[in-house]
Chains A and B, each alone.
Chain A
Amino acid sequence: MSKVLLDVRNMSVSFGGVRAVDGLTFSVQEGEVLSVIGPNGAGKTSAFNCITGFYQPASGSVTFNGSDITGKRPAVIAASGIARTFQNLRLFGDLTVLDNVRAGMHVRIKQNSLDAMLHTPRYWRSEDAATDEAHRWLDFVGMHYDRTAQIRNLPYGEQRRVEIARALAREPRMLLLDEPAAGLNHTEKTQLLDLMRRIAALGTAVVLIEHDMGLVMEVSERIVVLSYGKEIADGPPAAIRSNPAVIEAYLGAEDQEAHAEAERIAAEAGTDGIAEAR
């Protein structure tokens, strides 16, 4: 189809003897909507964390847009064009909605400390441009509430939207969404589906971790299935639906539970799956 944007080769990471990600290899094309699915504890979030630099992969390589980003600092990886959301919302709770979105623009705001102290024309220009752009992104995601309010006072669904707006404001080539539909009602899920299509239409590749199979099948062009940290299937939704290995992985649930628990405890990372391992 088109150019390979992200190329993950043979990536592994383990916690206290448990291999959370075990020799994972997959790639993402430019502008593609790809879902990563798998039973609980299959290593999806760990894989995300390795790609975005929050975990150091023990082995393997991650190439993005032609350059090697394996083991780089999260900030460097983000600056190279990968944005992400978190499984449990990670917003700046004390700050306003607009400030949260401005975070995504941080590396693009053309202003230095001197401008800020002296309030130069450049300061006002850059601040106004940032504010305008933040409003546009909030419009884009359909954030309907007071944008000058502290974000922690907003309903959950709206916070989800702001987190996506913040990631989009990074102007990423690729957006990683970690269970964006969790906790949303039916209407909100429909809106999310629409939003993801509009994001893809911008030319941004979307990589989605999601448990809602209806959503996944609806939006994905391709699906990667993980189990025990390994890829077991890769293909279009229709093929995945009838893949025996996938069905086996989802049905053989007893073993999975134990595996999931082991990974969770080993990662020592609460429910989110990100420990600061730097």
Chain B
Amino acid sequence: MNDESTPRTMEAPSAYVRAVEERAPANVAPAGSKVGTFTDRRAALAETASGLLASRWLALGLAAVTLALPYLNSSTYVIQIAIDALIFIMLAVGLNIVVGYCGLLDLGYAAFFAIGAYVSGLLSTRYGWPLLATIPVVVAAAVIGGLVIGGPTLRLRSDYLAIVTLGFGEIIRITANNLDFTGGPNGLYGIPDFGAFGLRADVALYWITAVIVIVAVLFSSRLGRGRIGRAWRFVREDEDAAEAMGIHTYKVKFAAYIAGAIFGGIAGVLFAAHQTAISPPSFNFLWSALILMAVVLGGMGSVPGVVVGALVISLLPELLRGAENWRYLVFGLLLIVVMIFRPQGLLPSRTGEPRRRGRQSQGGRP
């Protein structure tokens, strides 16, 4: 990802800043005074709940449970659906960068998932590459895909993007279906995994997937809090104001789109390794819509929320095997209801300030 424009240094306070410090008025606001906040109790409660979920201890605990799962239950079925769920989490946090952080509606996210799965599948089955070695190529392919589709459309108004990405998703799926090279409608099969390392193959894959996904969740959450993440939120909130602050909104949107593409592509590699056989129907619009559902339900822009949303969306059908049409009907109604009554999702992102580390504040607030 390339951030916009060369940042000027902030290390040495400029003459400007010094001048400010000298002239700063003595009557500084009482730090943290709660005057003027009108948050009602319900919102405060929700914030506490999501605060709890966002706390690093709970995150660490969940990561530990995730890694320990094979010791708790290593049946083929549990490992199978746990890997499914992990891959879905990765997709959801990736889409969250695009939709949640940056506010761009992407309805063809499965396209990047497909690109990842097909590129790694092709290289490993046709050319005998080890799966791990395909990842850089997958990342490159996802970036190229993002450039091709984002380039023209990110300049346009936001709702064009929604439908163009949808079209793009269909283009990728249909192309994979039509070409002999990609195995046509049957797709590719016999895709290898990353290696067993003396373990049962599916357990080894589980641990590899778990590590990658945990790192991905961590990275996406940290990206959201850093400089680029703030820029994404500025663009989401008000593009004009962001521009007026010197933020090149087109490049920032591009960065979000490409970041999302990379997450999707890597998730595709994991999916190919997991399924061993991939075919076009796995990458249809329904799939893109389900990922979006996870993001919206969990809370756009909130990583803990999106993870919970992804778990619900991916595990619910397993628990309710056999109620497919009802499930989608409920999903559709839920999207409307959530948007009208709780647009921030189940676990909305916290608005609080991040904690500090490193040197303590010097001046400013007493």
Contact = CB atoms under 8 A, between A and B. Distances in A.
Direct contact of A and B (CB under 8 A): yes
Interface of A: 52-54, 73-76, 78-79, 83-84, 86, 90-96, 98-99, 102-113, 115-117, 119, 121, 123-133, 135-140, 142-150, 153-155, 158, 166-167, 170-171, 198, 201-203, 274, 276
Interface of B: 1, 3-5, 7-11, 14, 16-17, 19-21, 23-25, 27-30, 32-39, 218-219, 222-223, 225-231, 233-234, 237-249, 255, 259, 351-354, 356-359, 361-365
Nearest to A90: B241
A177 B277 CA distance: 61
20 contacts: A73-B248, A83-B245, A90-B241, A102-B230, A107-B246, A108-B7, A113-B1, A126-B227, A128-B361, A132-B361, A132-B363, A133-B17, A135-B365, A136-B20, A139-B28, A145-B33, A154-B36, A167-B244, A202-B23, A276-B240
B313 to A, nearest CB: 24
A116 B361 contact: no
B222 to A, nearest CB: 5
Given A121-B358, A153-B39, 12 more contacts: A75-B246, A95-B234, A106-B245, A107-B247, A113-B1, A125-B358, A136-B364, A139-B28, A146-B36, A148-B32, A153-B37, A202-B19
Contact of A96 (B14, B39, B353): B353
A107 B5 contact: yes
Contact of B25 (A107, A137, A140, A153): A140
A124 to B, nearest CB: 4
B226 A144 contact: no
Contact of B228 (A53, A102, A113): A113
B229 A116 contact: yes
A95 B7 contact: no
Contacts of A132: 361-364
B33 to A, nearest CB: 6
B244 A78 contact: yes
Given A104-B245, A109-B10, A138-B29, A144 B223 contact: no
Contacts of B354: 127
A205 B8 CA distance: 21
A91 B362 CA distance: 27
A52 B241 CA distance: 11
B24 to A, nearest CB: 5
Given A79-B246, A139-B24, A170-B245, A106 B227 contact: yes
Contact of A128 (B32, B230, B356): B356
Contacts of A76: 246, 248
A170 B351 contact: no
Given A95-B351, A106-B231, A74 B243 contact: yes
A104 B246 CA distance: 8
Residue of B32, B33, B38, B246 with highest tally of chain A CB at under 10 A: B246
B223 A113 contact: yes
Given A113-B228, A116-B223, A154-B36, A74 B244 contact: yes
B25 A139 contact: yes
A158 B222 contact: no
A126 B10 contact: yes
The prevalent SS among residues of B at the interface is loop
Given A78-B246, A115-B226, A117-B219, A91 B241 contact: yes
A142 B27 CA distance: 8
A84 B244 contact: yes
A65 to B, nearest CB: 15
Contacts of B28: 139
A108 B352 CA distance: 23
A99 B230 contact: yes
Given A75-B247, A113-B228, A154-B36, A274 B29 contact: no
Contacts of B218: 117
Contacts of B37: 145-146, 149-150, 153
B352 A128 contact: no
Contact of A99 (B39, B233, B238): B233
Nearest to A136: B364
Contact of B11 (A84, A91, A110): A110
Nearest to A117: B219
Contacts of B228: 113, 116
Contacts of B240: 54, 74, 86, 90, 274, 276
B36 A145 contact: yes
B246 A131 contact: no
Given A136-B20, A138-B29, A123 B243 contact: no
Contacts of B231: 106
Nearest to B9: A110
A115 B225 CA distance: 11
A113 B226 contact: yes
B5 A79 contact: yes
Contacts of B223: 113, 116-117
A240 B33 CA distance: 45
A105 B246 CA distance: 9
B276 to A, nearest CB: 31
